[in-house]
């Protein structure tokens, strides 16, 4: 059902946890739907210097969280804001269609964390 890339990220998820004293935090998902993510970031010189994610969810949720943190690391905030769910799914070699909307939330969490950072630093 899952691609090798999804399985690889699921088995070894990157950047799990929370950034200490984060510059921005994004909380997305809903326990009733089964997927909840908390993305925390540290910003340095307008770039993402540290991204961490905590995830409650299925295999796809964990894998998308992992690869999102990996892909966005070092990006400018604008570049990270331009990332889409499709970009994440593509980087994972595709996701089952029923997972595209409920589990592919990490990029939304990242965007929310950036918006949170910007609301304090505008």
Catalytic residue list: 33, 102
- Of the candidate spans 3-11, 77-85, 87-95, 112-120, the one that interacts with other proteins by CB under 8 A turns out to be 3-11
**CB of 69 closer than 8 Å to CB of 14:** yes
- Told to check if 116 binds other proteins by CB under 8 A, we report no
CA 4 to chain CA centroid, Å, is 19
Positions 87 through 106 that interact with other proteins (CB under 8 A): 98-99, 102-103
- Given 34, 46, 74, 93, the residue binding other proteins (CB under 8 A): 34
At 21 the three-state DSSP class reads coil
CA–CA dist 63, 51 (Å, integer): 15
Burial readout 55-83 (b: 16 or more C-beta within 10 A, e: otherwise): bebbbbbbbbbbbbbebbbebebeebbeb
**Nearest approach, Cβ of residue 31 and other proteins (Å):** 4
- Of the candidate spans 26-34, 41-49, 75-83, 114-122, the one that interacts with other proteins by CB under 8 A turns out to be 26-34
Give me the residues that bind other proteins (CB under 8 A), please.
7, 10-11, 13, 16, 27, 31-38, 54-62, 98-99, 102-103
């Amino acid at each position: 059902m899952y691609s090798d890339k999804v399985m690889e990220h699921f088995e070894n998820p990157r950047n799990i946890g929370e950034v200490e004293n984060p510059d921005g935090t994004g909380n997305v998902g809903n326990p009733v739907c089964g997927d909840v993510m908390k993305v925390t970031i540290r910003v340095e010189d307008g770039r993402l210097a540290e991204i961490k994610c905590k995830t409650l969810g299925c295999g796809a949720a964990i894998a998308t969280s992992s690869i999102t943190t990996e892909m966005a690391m070092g990006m400018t905030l604008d570049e990270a804001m331009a990332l889409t769910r499709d970009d994440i799914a593509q980087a994972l070699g595709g996701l089952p269609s029923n997972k595209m909307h409920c589990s592919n939330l990490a990029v939304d969490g990242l965007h929310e964390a950036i918006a949170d950072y910007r609301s304090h630093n505008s």
